[in-house]
Amino acid sequence: MSPDVSIVVVTHDSAADLSRSLPSAVAQKGVSVEIVVVDNASTDPSRDVALLYAPNVRVLALPENVGFAAATNAGIAATTGRYVLSLNPDCRLAPDYAETLVRRLDARTEAGSASGRIFRAAGDDLAPTTRLDSTGIVFTASGRHFDRGSGEEAEGLYLEEEEISGATAAAGFYRREALDSAKISTGYFDSDFFLYREDADLALRLSQLGWTCLYVPGAVAWHRRRNLPERRGRMSAAANFHSVKNRFLLRINNQSAGQLLRTFVPTFARDVVVVGACLTVERTSLPAFSWLWKNRRRLWAKRREIRDRVTARRRR
């Protein structure tokens, strides 16, 4: 019999964090779980730490770092649960996180994904704080996306269950049926994203396919978030490169011509800022534009694939 929830943890030199996050995954109560750690060719003891939790945890070791999106896809393909929980190694779950979301999505069959009430965690111990990390993804007219409530004091905020735009992959919860309906040639999560924004892309694709996303405040987790807009200057060159590349990939995959026309002014204004920054203070991100150009035919074919998938589902 398939488990209720497949927990997929992607690691890359994450040994220190795994000793905090994996016990919280193993301790999930009220539902049957399987846990797979997908290791992206770590050079630290990540795999050894994960194996300490065997047989509750399986390790899928990849020969090279294929990025978060492709590694998560490998984990999803290697599991069988009715639901999939994408868990960052620097995220710790309350013991009833999975049970709470299973119960709500079992009752809401139109919901393809869900987000809990995710707080910021602090330090190596992933200590709980009173500030929010994410209560779901929100999108702006200029094509940007943010984690709702990010950095805000939690008291009195976002206490009601409601539909939202999408779930952050730090502790994203997905119905396998929804993931299967959204899978394209580059995977459930689009592997072209490598890392950063892949959860926003999947959120948009699921929405276009008719799935809703549910915010369930009773499901609680704690996440130590490193990459934030205000910390961009301290992010790695690779993270910034993928951030720029994926901003445009997100639009290529999901934005219709009508949406582009309606939001042209704020979108174009933001593009000017992004291009200007790449020409001046963040020149290491300039290769993002050559990557997009070199892959333009394949990316356009993938866009048609997504549009065809959406059209076929709406005709059912």
Please report the pLDDT score of residue 227 as a whole number: 63
Per-residue pLDDT tens digits for 37-86: 999 999 999 999 999 999 999 999 999 999 999 999 999 999 999 999 99
Q: Binning pLDDT at 50, 70 and 90, where does residue 7 land? A: very high
Residue 176 and residue 211: Cα distance in Å, rounded?
A: 12
Please report the pLDDT score of residue 97 as a whole number: 98
Q: Binning pLDDT at 50, 70 and 90, where does residue 228 land? A: low
Domain 5-227, what fold? Answer: Spore Coat Polysaccharide Biosynthesis Protein SpsA; Chain A (3.90.550)
Please report the pLDDT score of residue 81 as a whole number: 97
**Within 10 Å of residue 87's Cβ, how many Cβ atoms?**
30
- Tell me the sheet residues that pair with 122: 127
Sorted by sequence, the CB contacts under 8 Å of residue 215 that are 6+ apart come out as 114, 115, 117, 135, 136, 158, 161, 162, 163, 164
Please report the pLDDT score of residue 232 as a whole number: 58
Mean of pLDDT values over 205-222: 97
Q: Binning pLDDT at 50, 70 and 90, where does residue 185 land? A: very high
Q: What is the mean pLDDT of the chain?
A: 94
Residue 222 and residue 213: Cα distance in Å, rounded?
A: 20
Higher pLDDT, 1 or 156: 156
pLDDT at position 226 over 80: no
Mean of pLDDT values over 151-172: 97
Low-confidence winner among 56-60, 198-202, 307-311 (lowest mean pLDDT): 307-311
The SS3 assignment for 36 reads strand
Q: Binning pLDDT at 50, 70 and 90, where does residue 225 land? A: confident
Mean of pLDDT values over 166-181: 97
Instruction: Name the residue among 130, 172, 123, 126 with its Cα closest to residue 151.
Output: 130
Residue 255 and residue 270: Cα distance in Å, rounded?
A: 16
Mean of pLDDT values over 178-190: 97
* Per-residue H/E/C for 208-255: HCCCEEEEEEEEEEEECCCCCHHHHHHCCHHHHHHHHHHHHHHHHHHC
Mean of pLDDT values over 251-264: 88
The structure's pTM equals: 0.94
Please report the pLDDT score of residue 229 as a whole number: 58
Higher pLDDT, 196 or 292: 292
Q: Where are the domains of the chain?
A: 5-227, 230-314
pLDDT at position 131 over 90: yes
Mean of pLDDT values over 120-140: 94
